[in-house]
A and B are shown apart, each in its own frame.
Chain A
Amino acid sequence: MAERPHSTFLQARKPVLSRVIKTLAPQFDYISVLGADDRGISYSATPGETRTGEPTWVQRGFVFRAQKNGVVAEYACPDIDQDAAAFAGKIVPVMEKLLAAPGALRYPTIPDEPLNAEFKGTVEIDPFTTDPNLVLSRLIKLREELTDGHIVVMAQTRYECMDVSRLFLSPKRDLMQSFAWSQAYIFGVSRRGQLSKTSYRPVSGRSGLELLDNLETSLPELKEELVLLLDAVKIEPGVYDVILDPDMAGTLAHEAFGHGVETDMFFKGRAKAAEYINKRVGSDLVTMYDGAAGVDQCGSYLFDDEGRAATKTKVIDKGILVSGISDTLSALALKIPLTGNGRREAYSHKAYARMTNTYFAPGESKVKDMIASVKKGWYLSRLNSGMEDPRNWGIQLIAMVGKEIENGAFTGRIASPVFCSGYVPDVLGAIDMVSDDFTLSGSGFCGKGYKEYVKVSSGGPCIKTKMRLG
C-alpha cells in the first residue's frame, strides 16, 4: 500500500502561516486559514487519440477567514509572502474593508476549540509513479474492445486521480490530511442510421489504479446494453412500481433529503425540511445517513474545509426526519450542532453546507424477491442525473436504462431515457422493500444549483417504491 504524503508545499508554508495567524489573532474575534495543495493526473483514450493531463480539480492556495463583531469575511490567494509580519499587514486592510461592507449579517463568534489531528490515506497502485504507458495501453485496449465499428461506433475511456492535501490552522487548531481518490469510466455510443444511444460504466473510490480491474469486468454487459438500447421503447407516461438500483436510490437520497437538509438552506428559509424535524417523511423502511466519517468513499475526509471534524449524521431514522447537515455559519446562526459538512469546491470558493457520502441503510429483502413482487413496473439503472427542490419537495431523476418487469420477471424490453419525478414524501412513503446489500458510488460530483462542485458518493441498497415516469 502506498501512503499519500502530505504536501511539501503546505508543510513548508506552515511555520509562516502559524506566525501570520498568531499576528492576526489579536485583531479579530476569529481567524483561520485553510491551505490546499491538490495535485492530479488524468489519462484518456478517444478514437485516434490519447492524452495525459490533469483534472480540473488541481489547485494550490489559501483562504483566510476572519470575524469581527459578528461579521465574517474571507480572502483567498494563491500563495503567501515568506515575511509573516508583512503578509499579515497586507491581509488586515483587505479584511477590514470586507468586514465593513454595508448590511452585513452578524453571527455568533465562531468557536475555536483545541484540536490537533492528521490523516494519511493509502492506495494499492500509485498512479503518480506508474508508467503512463501501462495506463494508456489498458485504456486503449478497453476502448477498442468495446468498439465494433458497426453498432458500437465509438468508445472512450478515462482515468483520473486526485491527491488531496489540506492544512487548517487557527489559534487553537492544527489539522492536516492527505488522501487520494480515483475515478474511471468507459463510455460507448451505438448507432443505427441517425439514431444514437449511449451508456457507460463508472468506477470510483479512495484508491489508485486498482480501480481499472473493475472497469474491465463490466465490458461484456455494457456492450450488450448498447446494442439493446437501439431498440429501446418509450414509456407510456404514468405512475409505476419501480426498483431503483443503488446508484439511482443513492441519488434519490441525495436529492430528496440530502440537499433538503443542508442547513444553509434552513437559514435562508429555502428548506421545507426545517418544518419537518422529528416528523414522518418516509416509510418505516427508510433510514438515511450522510457523513464523511463511517464509510470509506470519495466523500470521506478527516476534517472539512472549515476545520470541523467529520461526523456521520443520521438524517432519517425509520421514516422520521431527525437531523440536518451543517456548515459552520448556518449552524451558529441556527444554534444547531456542527456536523463537519462545510465544503468548498476549491480554496478560492465559499464554503457551503454540503453532502459527503449519502446513502440509505440496507434492509432485509433480496433483489430477486423485489423483482418478483412487481406486477407491472420498471427496474431503473445507469443514473444520468438528479435534481433537488428543497423548498417544494419535487424530485427529478433520469435513468439511462429502464428494464420492464411484468408479473415478477423481466420482459426483455428496455426504455431509454426514463424521466422520473414525484413528490418526495410520496416517493419515500411508498418504499415497501429495501434490499439487504450495500454499494456506494463516487463517480459523480455534486453541485449547489449549477456550480460549486464537490466530490461526493451516494448509494446504499436497491429500493422499491412508486414514481411517475415519462
Chain B
Amino acid sequence: MKERIVKALERAEKKGGIKAAEWRLVSTNSSRQERYYVKDDLELAREVEEARQSLTVYVDGEEGGKKTRGEATISLQPSFSDEEIDAKIAQALFAASISKNPWFDLPGAAAAKSVLPVSGFETMDETSRAEVCRKALFAPETLSEEKPCPRINALELFVSKTSKHFINSKGARFDTVQWKGYSEFIVEAKGDSGPVELFDDIAFSQPDTARLTAATGARLANVKDRAAAVPTPALKNLPVILEGREAEEIFAWFFNNASTESIFMKVSPFFLGINVQQNDPASSVADPLDIWAESAIPGLPDSSSYDSDGFPLERTLVVKKGTLKCLTGGIRYADWLGQPRKGAFPLFSVSEGSFSLEQLRNQPCLELIKFSDFRLETTTGDFGGEIRLAYWFDGTRRIPVTGGSISGSVAELRSTMVRSKERGLGARSLCPVAVKLTGVSITGAL
C-alpha cells in the first residue's frame, strides 16, 4: 500500500503541477477482541480488524517575502482504487498549496530516546488475553442476597493490538506496537430507597491483574456507600478534596496550558518564567509542584517514543517548584515561538505533595469520589460537576453524601492547592492521588 501511495503522489504531482515539498505516511493496522457482559453473562462477543493509512502532504510557498508551508491530511485504505487515491491526493495537494502557514521543518531520521516497556499481552494466547482480564475485574465481586449486595451490573472489555509504521520524506522511519486494554464497568448496590450505581473505566497496557481487581474493588466499596448516602447539605467555606481522575484533570490544566500550541494560539495565559501556581504575583503558594512531560509510563497505553510529527520524545522537566521552565508540544509551534523543540508528549507526571492522604482528610472537608460528569475547561480553568458520591468529614464523622454540585476555577484557586504524597496512575499521568482546594463553591442537594 505504501508503494501505491508514493507512486500516486508522484502521478498527482506531475498531473496537477503542484509538488509536495515533504510528506508523511502513517500506516495503522489493528485487531481487537471485544466482550460485553450483563451481570456475568456474555451479551455479545465481537472481533474487529481495522486498517488505515494517513497521508499528510506539505506544499511550500511564499507570502510577503516569507517562506510558507501549507498542509493537508487525508486517510486512505487498501480498498481504495488507484483512481480514488489519485483524486484524494490531488485535492490534498491543492488544499495544502493555498494554506500559507509559517514554514517549519519536518523531523528527519532520529533514534528513539525512550524505551517502551514490552506488554505482557504480547506473549499471551488470544483466548487468555481477554479471559485473564475478565477474571481480574470480576474477582472482587462477592455475591450475596443481603443489602446492599454490591455487584457488577455491566462490564465491557476490549483488548487491542495496534501496529503503526511511520515514514516521512525526510527519512524518519519507525515502527511501534501498542497493546491497549480498556474496560468500562457499572457497579450497583441496593439502598433503602432503591438500587444505585456508579460508573468507571480503566485503560491499561499490561495484563496487570492486581490493578484491574483494585479498580472494580474500589468502586464496589464506593457504591455500597452511595446506597447509604444522604443528600449533600449546604456547606460553606469547606475545603474540598478531588481524587483520582478529577485530581489528574486539575494537574492536567497546568500541563496543557504549558504547551507550545496553547501559548502560540493565545489560548493559555502562561509564559516562560511565570509561577503557574500563582493567580496573582502577590499570592503565596501552598505546595510548589514539579511537572514532567513523559513519553512512557509503565501501565499506560498511550506511552510513545515519538510524537505525531515523528519527533523523538525524551522526558522533560516542564514546571519546577511552580515555575514554568520549558514548553513542550507540537514542534511547529515551538519553532514559531522561537523555543527549542521538545515534541508533543502523550503523558505527564507530577511530583509528590507535602501531605499524606490521611493528613489531607483529617480536617473538616468534602472529599469527592464520583461525579455525574466532572468538567474542567482548559482555557478558563472553570470546573465542576454534580456529585454522585462524596464523603463529608465534619470533624468527627465521615458521612457519605450524594447530590448537589461543586464549582470553582483552578485559575483562581491554584495558590491554595495542596496535594497528596501518595501517587497513582491516571488516564495519562502518574500524579498525586488527591488534591485539596479551598474556596470551591458547594451547592447542597436540599
Contact = CB atoms under 8 A, between A and B. Distances in A.
A390 to B, nearest CB: 9
A421 B443 CA distance: 9
Contacts of B379: 189, 196, 198
Contacts of B77: 60, 78-79
B38 A396 contact: no
B21 interface: no
Interface residues of A, number: 77
Interface in B34-58: 34-36, 38, 40-52
A198 B381 CA distance: 11
Interface stretch (B9-17, B264-272, B307-315, B349-357): B264-272
Nearest to A43: B95
Interface string B77-114: 11111001000000110111011111000000000000
Contacts of A16: none
B205 to A, nearest CB: 18
B286 interface: no
B404 interface: yes
Interface string B142-170: 00000000000110000000000000000
Interface string A313-355: 0000000000000000100000000000000000010100000
A368 interface: no
A154 B265 CA distance: 7
Interface in A95-137: 98-99, 101-105, 132-133, 136
Contact of A194 (B75, B264, B280): B280
Given A196-B380, A419-B385, A76 B46 contact: yes
B375 interface: yes
Interface stretch (A170-178, A265-273, A290-298, A454-462): A265-273
A79 B373 contact: no
A237 B46 contact: no
Contact of B45 (A78, A79, A104, A272): A104
B42 A103 contact: yes
B72 A52 contact: yes
Interface string B275-298: 000011000000000000000000
Interface in A150-168: 153-154, 156
A132 B98 contact: yes
A191 to B, nearest CB: 6
B154 A270 contact: yes
Contacts of B441: 234, 237, 470
A470 B201 CA distance: 27
A417 interface: yes
Given A46-B265, A421-B403, A54 B73 contact: yes
B443 A469 contact: yes
Contacts of B98: 132-133, 136
Contacts of B70: 50
Contacts of A394: 372, 386, 388, 403
A213 interface: no
A386 B372 CA distance: 9
A102 B42 contact: yes
B177 interface: no
Nearest to B35: A101
B201 A58 contact: no
B266 A153 contact: yes
Given A77-B49, A104-B41, A470-B405, A58 B75 contact: yes
Interface in B375-395: 375, 377, 379-382, 384-386, 388
B406 interface: yes
Nearest to B235: A237
Interface string A414-436: 00110101010000000000000
Interface in A43-77: 46-54, 58, 60-61, 72-77
A385 interface: yes
Interface stretch (B116-124, B191-199, B210-218, B321-329): B191-199
B384 A198 contact: no
A142 B188 CA distance: 49
A51 B71 contact: yes
B344 interface: no
Given A52-B96, A398-B384, A391 B188 contact: yes
A374 interface: no
A389 interface: yes
Contacts of A20: none
B407 interface: yes
Nearest to B32: A348
B364 interface: no
B48 A417 contact: no
B269 A194 contact: yes
Interface string A21-61: 00000000000000000000000001111111110001011
A333 B73 CA distance: 44
A449 B385 contact: no
B443 A238 contact: yes
B184 interface: yes
A9 interface: yes
A46 B330 CA distance: 15
Given A136-B99, A387-B373, A9 B267 contact: no
B63 to A, nearest CB: 12
Nearest to B234: A237
B380 A197 contact: yes
B247 interface: no
Given A46-B265, A268-B38, A417-B377, A237 B372 contact: no
A237 B49 CA distance: 50
B105 to A, nearest CB: 16
A267 B44 CA distance: 14
A396 B49 contact: no
A72 B279 CA distance: 56
Given A76-B47, A394-B403, A196 B153 contact: no
B375 A74 contact: no
A270 B197 contact: yes
B48 A348 contact: yes
B15 to A, nearest CB: 18
A90 B94 CA distance: 41
B46 A53 contact: no
B199 to A, nearest CB: 6
A50 B68 CA distance: 12
Interface string A251-270: 00000000000000001111
Interface in A275-317: none
B153 A269 contact: yes
A468 B407 contact: no
Contacts of A136: 98-99
A237 B443 contact: yes
A407 interface: no
Given A9-B79, A237-B442, A421-B405, A194 B411 contact: yes
Contacts of A395: 372, 386
Nearest to B193: A392
Contact of B375 (A384, A392, A451): A384
A396 B42 CA distance: 32
Contacts of B375: 384-385, 398
B407 A470 contact: yes
Contacts of B49: 76-78
Interface string A174-214: 00000000000000010101111110000000000000000
A95 to B, nearest CB: 9
B87 to A, nearest CB: 10
B431 interface: no
Contact of B264 (A47, A72, A269): A47
Given A47-B264, A98-B46, A196 B406 contact: no
Given A51-B72, A154-B267, 8 more contacts: A54-B74, A74-B44, A105-B43, A133-B98, A189-B267, A189-B379, A193-B280, A234-B441
16 contacts: A78-B51, A78-B78, A99-B45, A103-B41, A104-B42, A194-B280, A269-B153, A350-B36, A384-B375, A392-B388, A395-B386, A398-B384, A416-B382, A417-B382, A469-B443, A470-B441
5 closest cross-chain pairs (CB), A and B = A470-B443, A387-B373, A52-B95, A237-B443, A396-B386
